[in-house]
Structure 1
Amino acid sequence: MTPSLKAALVNGLLFPGLGHLLLRRAGRGCLFLLPTLLAGGYLLRRMAQLIMPLAEQVASGALPFDPELIAQRVEAAGLAGPAGNLAALVLLVCWLGSVLDALWLGRQHHH
């Protein structure tokens, strides 16, 4: 297995930009790693802000443990919104971009 294919797999299966470390391209890997961390952190923080009050309501009995009702509350909270959509897009672009970039680096190396 070529180093670029290993890097692409690490980027795709573990974390974007991490595979670039195998190629000794840490700076280039950070172009994928840092935005992914920021976007993922934003989404996780928003999700926690949404889930904690719902969990407390379920635990206190104020909200019945009804998956459909809970899903409606989650949807109404608007996690997706413009900022959430942008963060999800950043994650997608970084994930795909890091895989393709690792493969591209391997292709350049062989030419």
Structure 2
Amino acid sequence: MNKAMKAALISAFVCPGGGHFYLKRYNTGTLLSTVTLGALVYLLVQAVARAQDISDKIANGQIPLDLSVIYPLITQQPAAEQALYNNIATFALIISWLVGVIDAYWLGAIADKAEN
């Protein structure tokens, strides 16, 4: 398997930026990994905070332990400002993942041509 394909697969399935580390492009790999992991951590923190809020309301008796009551609380849209930040984090996560895969493949193809 050539370097281009290995780098793209590492970036796609391990971590964005992983393919860049494989190609010894440490600065780009660090940037892509940081953006991706930062966005992922932000989204996970928001999800855990929402779940904690709902579980606290259940424990305090403010809402009953009934799926028909809990499900709408889980699926309702967050406030406008919070939804904007969630969308930005999601967009950053997807874009950094795609850029990581495409750029790793492109840099790997250049490295493959240089070896031949």
TM value normalised by structure 2: 0.80
* Equivalent residue number for residue 39 of structure 1: 39
* Equivalent residue number for residue 102 of structure 1: 104
Q: 1:67 to 1:5 in 2, by over 3 A?
A: farther
Superposed displacement of residue 66, structure 1 = 4.1
Q: Compare 46-55 and 57-66 and name the one that shifted more.
A: 57-66
Q: 1:68 to 1:93 in 2, by over 3 A?
A: farther
1:68 and 1:108 map into 2 onto residues whose CA distance is: 56
Determine if the alignment matches structure 1 residue 5 to structure 2 residue 5.
yes
Say if 2:77 and 2:83, in contact at 8 Å, map to a contact too: no
Structure 2 unaligned regions, length at least 5: none
1:9 and 1:90 map into 2 onto residues whose CA distance is: 20
RMSD across aligned positions (CA): 2.2
Q: Compare 97-106 and 64-73 and name the one that shifted more.
A: 64-73
Structure 1 unaligned regions, length at least 5: none
Superposed displacement of residue 55, structure 1 = 2.2
- How many residue pairs get matched? 111
What is the percent sequence identity of the aligned residues?
32
TM value normalised by structure 1: 0.83
Say if 2:5 and 2:105, in contact at 8 Å, map to a contact too: yes
- What are the residue-to-residue correspondences of 1:1-111 with 2, within 5 Å? 1-59=1-59, 62-74=62-74, 75-78=76-79, 81-109=83-111, 110=113
Superposed displacement of residue 6, structure 1 = 1.3
Runs (4+) of structure 1 exceeding 6 A deviation are none
2:32 and 2:63 map into 1 onto residues whose CA distance is: 40
- Answer with 1 or 2: which has the greater Rg: 2
2:94 counterpart letter in structure 1:
L
Say if 2:7 and 2:108, in contact at 8 Å, map to a contact too: no
